Amino acid sequence: MTALMHSLPPGTVILVGALLAPLVPQRVRQGWLLALPVASFLLFIGLPAGHSVSFHFLGYDLNPVHVDRLSRVWGIIFHIAALLAAVYALHVRDTVQQVTASLYVAAALGAVFAGDLITFFVYWELTAVTSVFLIWASRNRRAYRAGMRYLIVQVGSGVLLLSGTLLHYHTTGSLAFGHLGLGSAAGVLIFLAFGIKCAFPFLHNWLQDAYPEATVTGTVYLSTFTTKLAVYALARAYAGTEILIPIGAAMTAFPIFYAVIENDLRRVLSYSLNNQLGFMVVGIGIGTQLSLNGTAAHAFAHILYKSLLFMSMGAVLHRTGTIKGSELGGLYRSMPLTAVFCMVGAASISAFPLFSGFVSKGMITSAADHGHYAVTMLVLLFASAGVFHHSGIKIPYFAFFSHDSGKRCKEAPLHMLIAMGVTAFLCIAIGVYPKPLYDLLPYPVEFHPYTVPHVVSMLQLLLFAALCFGLLNLVRLYPPELRSVNLDSDWIYRRVLPVFVQSVGRTVTAGRARLTVRAERALGRFLGGVYRHHGPEGIFARTWETGATVLWVALLLAACLIYYYI
């Protein structure tokens, strides 16, 4: 029995359990949904690194379960995040969300342990089609349209992945999901597929477009799985691909400008999510043991603090009905615990000493330092100061302090507080005692985060950034929160393309009308001619005498003969 369970991909328990969930009565369904990630984790944790299951199917060698030290890190954190999100979502009674959230978790887990590209593709697409329901579950027009755009982009990424996979199989004869590199067309296609889900610059906007439209609990799920699965895939297939360094550096820098002026606080978090992915991508690009460890550690820490931040903003949205910075402020009175948890998340994402981001991001910057990537280093430092600015200060400040909005509401529900409390505890625990996390990493760790230069330099960077925020706010130079929408690359497909298509459509319609008129006239003339010759009065409608007919036939035959003779 155990052997059978071990031969199934991790996450299968959640997959089956989610499909059965609608049959479980609502009273006990909450317990059922909590039990799924726990059961799955207990089964998964028994699998040793190196565990692999493969079989031959329709002429292909498939390897649906492949556990190694890299995939184990993601397996563990995905299980933890799934359980925390399930606790946070205990109040949800919507069967669609309950089922699709668990299916989404199962798909992400399946993908992490896929040893071949076909299996990986199947789970990759499954994450897309299950997660979109968490956006649609908001059940409004905006969410429906954002979900549609999200689905198109995600499925598009899947199409690229499948074409790359088939091309790769055709040229190499292998389906194994290992290092690919950019040396072949297949490698480039798959790189683009991963790049879309990892929100590379210009391929990123589906994230900021869709995540803030999802439900309160849906965004917590979304923030964890899709993008970090893409980071995992890049780490597996493109470690050491140098182009990832400038791509990652750009990802850390450009979203923070948007984050500063964005009003929807969950969208601010989506921009900072994008910025944090940049650090991980840089780590993959550098490709040393230290930097890859850094990427894995940062993904682990990031999933926790990002969930925590989205949970706290979700709680604010849940209680006040809005998440716009321009309408919030002074909420610390009503939601003091949520405010504290939010600040723990903020300190963690900002990489304050004693919080999780410090011990994980430090590995990546240290790897950039060792590799003498001067420009990258400067960009990463700028982005670190910037992320503190908008996620570390702006989010808690505008939601919980700033000017009092007059809103008075209840503190977040107990289950949300428990989920946030445990997540906050983990963020601090990792920051204070990083050894258990370091022991999980793919390579042996010889990194000491708590050195005097590292602590002092990071504190200088962050506190001077805070000083800047304070001063600019004091002299009223800080851009106020305004009800607005900011154009990003989604403008191209939400505005330019539709306008273009509509103008082409109008031209075609107008042209078709003119063409139709002309065609009708021409047809009229033609039919008139036919009528003249073949109509009742027409020359071809007369009855001819037999003799005349014979004469005509004879003349025609003669003409034929002469023609052939010539």
Partner 1 sequence: MKQDGWWNRLDSPRAGRTAMRILVVICAGLLAADFFYPKHAAFSWEGWFGFYGIYGFLGCVFLVLSAKEMRRIVKRDEDYYDRPDA
Least spacing, CB of residue 288 vs partner 1, in Å: 14
The one-character DSSP state at 325 is G
Looking at the Cβ atoms of 28 and 459, the one nearer to partner 1 is 459
Least spacing, CB of residue 242 vs partner 1, in Å: 19
Looking at the Cβ atoms of 39 and 455, the one nearer to partner 1 is 455
By CB under 8 A, is residue 448 in contact with partner 1?
no
The rounded radius of gyration (Å) of the Cα atoms in the chain is 31
Judge residue 238's burial from the number of C-beta atoms within 10 Å of its C-beta, 0-12 exposed, 13-18 middle, 19 or more buried: buried
Q: How many residues does the chain have?
A: 566
Backbone angles phi, psi at 62, to 5 degrees: -100, 150
By CB under 8 A, is residue 213 in contact with partner 1?
no
Q: Which listed residue (54, 288, 289, 486) binds partner 1 by CB under 8 A?
A: 486
Q: Distances in Å between the alpha carbon of 129 and those of 28, 157, 379?
A: 27, 12, 35
Least spacing, CB of residue 232 vs partner 1, in Å: 29
What is the helix (H) or strand (E) element at residue 72, kind and residue range? helix 69-88
By CB under 8 A, is residue 409 in contact with partner 1?
no
Total site size for partner 1, rule CB under 8 A? 60
By CB under 8 A, is residue 461 in contact with partner 1?
yes
Least spacing, CB of residue 104 vs partner 1, in Å: 26
Q: In terms of Cα–Cα distance, which of 337, 353, 343 is closest to 395?
A: 343
By CB under 8 A, is residue 468 in contact with partner 1?
yes
Q: Distances in Å between the alpha carbon of 320 and those of 57, 251, 410?
A: 53, 32, 9
Q: In terms of Cα–Cα distance, which of 348, 362, 312 is closest to 332?
A: 312
Looking at the Cβ atoms of 36 and 379, the one nearer to partner 1 is 379
Q: Which listed residue (271, 332, 355, 438) binds partner 1 by CB under 8 A?
A: 332
By CB under 8 A, is residue 470 in contact with partner 1?
yes
By CB under 8 A, is residue 485 in contact with partner 1?
yes
Q: Which listed residue (69, 93, 139, 333) binds partner 1 by CB under 8 A?
A: 333
Residue written as tokens 């929408």?
A: 485
Whether residue 287 contacts residue 320, with contact meaning beta carbons closer than 8 Å, is answered with no
Stretch that binds partner 1, among 151-159, 384-392, 420-428, 537-545 (CB under 8 A): 384-392
| Helix, coil or strand: residue 562 | helix
Dist. CA 440–CA 76, nearest whole Å: 9
By CB under 8 A, is residue 243 in contact with partner 1?
no
Stretch that binds partner 1, among 171-179, 268-276, 453-461, 541-549 (CB under 8 A): 453-461
Is the C-alpha dihedral spanning 74, 75, 79, 80 positive or negative? negative
Dist. CA 349–CA 279, nearest whole Å: 12
By CB under 8 A, is residue 385 in contact with partner 1?
yes
By CB under 8 A, is residue 440 in contact with partner 1?
no
By CB under 8 A, is residue 389 in contact with partner 1?
yes
Stretch that binds partner 1, among 47-55, 90-98, 200-208, 458-466 (CB under 8 A): 458-466
By CB under 8 A, is residue 48 in contact with partner 1?
no
Give the torsion through C-alpha atoms of 211, 217, 223, 228, to 10 deg.
-130
Stretch that binds partner 1, among 306-314, 382-390, 431-439, 510-518 (CB under 8 A): 382-390
Q: Which listed residue (58, 452, 513, 562) binds partner 1 by CB under 8 A?
A: 452
Residues 51-63, buried b or exposed e (16+ Cβ, 10 A)? bebeeeeeeeebb
Stretch that binds partner 1, among 17-25, 59-67, 487-495, 552-560 (CB under 8 A): 487-495
What is the helix (H) or strand (E) element at residue 64, kind and residue range? strand 60-66
User: Rounded to the nearest 5 degrees, what angle is found at the Cα of 121, between the Cα atoms of 119 and 125?
Assistant: 125
By CB under 8 A, is residue 325 in contact with partner 1?
no
Q: Distances in Å between the alpha carbon of 510 and those of 498, 501, 521?
A: 18, 14, 17
By CB under 8 A, is residue 261 in contact with partner 1?
yes
What is the per-residue binding string for partner 1 in 346-375, x denoting contact by CB under 8 A? -----------------------xx-x-x-
Looking at the Cβ atoms of 463 and 522, the one nearer to partner 1 is 463
How many other CB atoms are there within 10 angstroms of residue 403's CB atom?
A: 9
The one-character DSSP state at 441 is S
By CB under 8 A, is residue 257 in contact with partner 1?
yes
By CB under 8 A, is residue 26 in contact with partner 1?
no
Span 97-136, contacts to partner 1 by CB under 8 A? none
Backbone angles phi, psi at 60, to 5 degrees: -110, 145
| Helix, coil or strand: residue 164 | helix
By CB under 8 A, is residue 438 in contact with partner 1?
no
Q: Which listed residue (487, 501, 556, 560) binds partner 1 by CB under 8 A?
A: 487
By CB under 8 A, is residue 441 in contact with partner 1?
no
By CB under 8 A, is residue 272 in contact with partner 1?
no
- Distant-in-sequence, close-in-space partners of 57: CB < 8 Å, separation ≥ 6: none
Least spacing, CB of residue 184 vs partner 1, in Å: 35
By CB under 8 A, is residue 442 in contact with partner 1?
no
Residues 530-554, buried b or exposed e (16+ Cβ, 10 A)? eeeeeeeeeeeeeeeeeeeeeeeee
Dist. CA 315–CA 234, nearest whole Å: 33
Q: Which listed residue (435, 495, 533, 534) binds partner 1 by CB under 8 A?
A: 495
Interface residues with partner 1 (CB under 8 A)? Answer: 142, 256-258, 260-261, 329-330, 332-333, 369-370, 372, 374, 377-378, 381-382, 385-386, 389, 401-404, 452-453, 456-474, 477-479, 482-488, 494-495, 498-499
